[in-house]
Every structure is written in structure tokens, then in C-alpha cells.
Chain A
């Protein structure tokens, strides 16, 4: 299986605190890969490091490969232009810009090889709400609408791969399934997706495989079907007594 995006011995430190420890992972073509773990396990730090991005000042070592090319030295805007589309956790759209302007910021690069191109109308079909609210400022959108806008802009940029950090946060339970179903439909068209989400139960319905992260280390990896029966997952996320976002 060819891996579109992979990490080799990825380690991320904040000051003296190692948030991601020697992680190897790969996302193959047309695969939806989930990363699960408790709060503070290092999930966001991991995906941010793949995108070469952070709001803090981490020290990153190890390699990130996009289509076999080492992109570890590229700044985040160049990774984005190269098709590595990341939708971060938290604030991920511009609140001073309208929906229209948020979307217009994105430009496709010259090199279309290996990229999944979405036309404006396809994206609007996926997220019709955005069209209705196109003249509203980002600050006037609901949490769910912001998530949609953030995903829409990532699609318009012609992704090779999509990284989604907590796409379902703040969504009504019914919407979580809807958003993940949209993501799955993209994956079925061939777009590889790496998704981090607290709703492990919902994610496992849609994802192909899952990595389990604990204190910055990968402690489990397997197909979604096998991970459903993994003890740790069962205990922490799927069992009846499961506490969401269990603090180890």
C-alpha cells in the first residue's frame, strides 16, 4: 500500500515536556485513519506537527513525508500549498472575514498531480448552509457552521490529504454522524483523511484504521474492526462506564 503521508520517528517537545514521542504512522491512499487518545495525549500536537504548524513553540524532530517527499523542513504555508490540508482544533476560520472571503483566500497551486480538486458547487453541495450564509462574517457563524467552513476551505484548496482535528467538537450528536459521513464520502472518492476525534465510537463507524495514543506514544494500531474489540478502547471509550475524555 502506498502511503500518501507518513511520519518517521516524529518527536515533539514543548520546552522540557515531550508531547509526542517517537511516533511512526502512515496514511494510505483512500484510507480514513483515526487517532484516539485521552485529553493531553498529544493528538493535536501530532497532527499539527505533520502540518508543520503550531500556536506554541514546539521543537520538532523526525521526518514527515508527503508522497515520498521529505517535507519536514517546509514551513506550514508551503505544506498547505503542496496539498497537505490541515483543519486545526479550535479557531480555524477568520472571524473578521465573511464566509465568501474566507473561501476566496484559498488558491490552488500550479501542480495538480495527485490532488483532489473540488469545484465551488461541489463544496456548496456538501455544505449548503455555507451558501446561505456567504455574506456573514466568520464571527457570526455557529460552531458547526465554522467547522463546515473550515472543511470547505480545505477542500477548495485541492487537498492531497486532509487532516481534521476534532471536526465534531460542539456538534449535536446527530450532526456528528452527518459530518463524519461527509468525510467518509470524500474518502470513498480516494481522498486520504487523518481524523482526531473524541467521539471514538462514532469515528470507528467510519474509519478504516485507528491509532491509539497515550502520553505521546502510539500504544495500539489496527483496523477499525479489530480496534473495536481492543481492551483499552473498550474500557476507555466504548464501555458503558466510559467517561468521555478520560484523564488517564
Chain B
């Protein structure tokens, strides 16, 4: 019902159209709920083995991880290479308190959020005025340095990391959740994914989301119309951090271990590739991308180094051949001439696609 108060009725006067819009809204809501239930039950239907649950939980976790980067990439147009820091913060925030003081999952999650926001604030302030490759390089450098510090600091487990993280324990008042295996963790991972997607969906419609888009489209115009571009960029960056951190938090419980390998290039490449594979400004991009990539790595694996080559090649080829991502590619393939003829002069994206393919050299 929250949905209704939220939605903007296009035709305030005409009740019948308003009603049909409302029907459509409830229908899509219903479809979404059914879709969620199906996805939730999917690992059980697929045999319910440890491997299947493991894959599903990992997909959910890495999707959420990439979602944080997606927010920055899609809404600021900037490439953050520093999100592995937040990812690792989430992991360590789960590991250290739970192994030292045996606190429950809520506490560690709160720590993950707080610490990642703090780190994002610091990094965001330091890189406030930087753009494009300087921003990317600065965030990248920060990640490498934090990795080095983690690696060399005994209090953080040093190069060995931290082992023996207890099972995730989440008291819900009436009932407690305690889980260790992937099958146990699946409800939590799925809930985290839904929550994150919901959060980002809300963010897209929020003032900040709109402002971020304006700043990305035309920074000088946005500034001249009274927007503080620096502030918007900073806030979006800070907002994106806890998303990735919570993914790291759950990842720590799934593996029962954290270590400096959370800074591995693998995660960074995964974040970027999953989004670029599917396309920016698509809510489910990271989920679909991560799913495709993990299926390759799990079922069509050609070894660790071989998978690196695959992942890197996917990234390079997508950007070189179809920079708009798979979704655009498929949409353009399914709706060919008709759509093109109708919208060529109106549809912005279509025109820019044509520009790119038909440039005179």
C-alpha cells in the first residue's frame, strides 16, 4: 500500500485511467512477489545440494557487492576502484568483533555500516575535487594502500587473516537465527539482496538520485541551477559504501574467514565486469552479471588463471564492441526496424547508438 502513496498519478481527473494504472501497478507487484518466491525456492528445486546453495549465496553476496559500485558508476559516471576497501571493511567488521567478543550479527552489521561510512567519508573528502581517471586512480591507490596496511598489521590478522568466525547469529526477538552452512545462510543472503535492490530502487527516485543524474549529465548546468555538485558526488559515494560493506559482512560469515585476499583484483574486476556486461542504470545489472559470470566460473571453469583471462576478456570485449551492455544489445535485436523508425528522432539513446555506428571516418 505504500506503493500507492508513493506513485504519481498521471491522470488526476480521469478515474478509469487511474484505476487501470493502479491495476497494472498491483499486477507488477504481484509478479515481483511471485518472481522473488521462485528465485528463493530455486536452489531447493535445483537439488538443494551444498554446491547449489553455495553458488546462490555467493551470487547474492557478490551482486550486492557490485551494487555499491553500480551506484557510483551509474549515477555519478565515475569509476570507483576503491570499493574493495568497503568490501573488506564489511568482512573485518564481521570477523574481529565476533571472534573477540562473540557479539551477534546485528552488532557486526552495524559496525560494518558505521566503519564503511566513516571510510567513505574520509576517502570521499580526500577525492572530492577529483574527476575521471584521477578519481579512479586515487580510489585505486587507496585500496592498494589499505590492502598493504592490512597485510602488515598483526592486529588485523596480517597476511594470515582471521580464522574461526562463529556462525552468523541474528536474534529476532521471538526467534533466533543461527546459520553457518550456505543453505542456512541463503534466506539471509536473499534478504540482503532484496533489501539492497530496494534501497537502490528508492535511491534512484530520491532527490539525491535525481541530483546525481543531473550532475552527471551536465555538471556546469546543475551547478548554475543551484546544486552543489561536490556535495552530491560526495553523498552518493558515501551512500554506496555500506551496500558493498554489508556484502563483505555476509561473505565473512559464509567463509568463516577473512584475509587480505578480499582486496584481490578478482573482486574489483567482478564488480566492474558484472555491471558493464549488462549495462549501467539497470537495477538488476549486477545480479544478472554476477550470475552469468559465476555460472561460468563454477560450471565452465578453465582454472583460476584461465578464468581471469575469461573475466578480463569479457570486460574488454564488452567495452570495445557493445559499450551499452547486453540489455541494450538484446533490446535492439528484438525490436529492430519498427522501433527504430518510430523513435529515431526522439529517442536519445537510439540516436547516440547510431552516431557511434555510423560515424564517418
Contact = CB atoms under 8 A, between A and B. Distances in A.
B345 A16 contact: yes
Interface string B155-193: 000000000000000000000000000000000000000
Nearest to B352: A15
Interface string B323-361: 000000000000000000000111000011011101111
A52 interface: yes
A59 interface: yes
Contact of B358 (A52, A59, A75): A59
Given A15-B345, A16-B344, A16-B345, A57 B361 contact: no
Interface residues of A, number: 9
B360 A16 contact: no
A59 B345 contact: no
Interface residues of B, number: 12
Contacts of A59: 354-355, 358-360
A65 to B, nearest CB: 17
Nearest to A76: B361
A234 interface: no
A52 B359 CA distance: 11
Nearest to B347: A16
Nearest to A16: B345
Contacts of A26: none
Contacts of A54: 360
A15 B345 CA distance: 7
A23 to B, nearest CB: 16
B312 to A, nearest CB: 29
A30 interface: no
A54 B358 CA distance: 14
B361 A75 contact: yes
A57 B361 CA distance: 9
Contact of A15 (B355, B360, B361): B355
B360 A52 contact: yes
Contacts of B351: 15-16
Nearest to B348: A15
Interface in A14-59: 15-16, 52, 54, 57-59
Nearest to A59: B358
A29 B207 CA distance: 63
Contact of B356 (A16, A57, A58, A60): A57
Contacts of A60: 360
Contacts of B346: 16
Nearest to B360: A60
B345 A57 contact: no
Contacts of A15: 345, 351-352, 354-355
Nearest to B346: A16
Contacts of B358: 59
B148 to A, nearest CB: 38
B168 to A, nearest CB: 53
B355 A57 contact: yes
Contacts of B345: 15-16
Contacts of B361: 75
A15 B361 CA distance: 16
Interface string A91-122: 00000000000000000000000000000000
Contacts of B359: 57, 59
Residue among B345, B356, B360 with most chain A CB within 10 A: B360
A57 B353 CA distance: 11
A75 B361 CA distance: 6
A75 B356 CA distance: 16
Interface string A70-84: 000001000000000
Contacts of B354: 15, 59
A75 B359 CA distance: 12
A97 B335 CA distance: 50
Nearest to A61: B360
A16 B346 CA distance: 8
A76 to B, nearest CB: 9
A58 B360 contact: yes
A122 B53 CA distance: 81
Interface of B: 344-346, 351-352, 354-356, 358-361
Given A52-B360, A59-B355, A75-B361, 18 more contacts: A15-B345, A15-B351, A15-B352, A15-B354, A16-B344, A16-B345, A16-B346, A16-B351, A54-B360, A57-B355, A57-B356, A57-B359, A58-B360, A59-B354, A59-B358, A59-B359, A59-B360, A60-B360
9 contacts: A16-B344, A16-B346, A52-B360, A57-B356, A58-B360, A59-B354, A59-B359, A60-B360, A75-B361
Smallest CB-CB A-B distances: 9 pairs: A16-B345, A15-B351, A57-B355, A60-B360, A59-B358, A57-B359, A75-B361, A16-B344, A16-B351
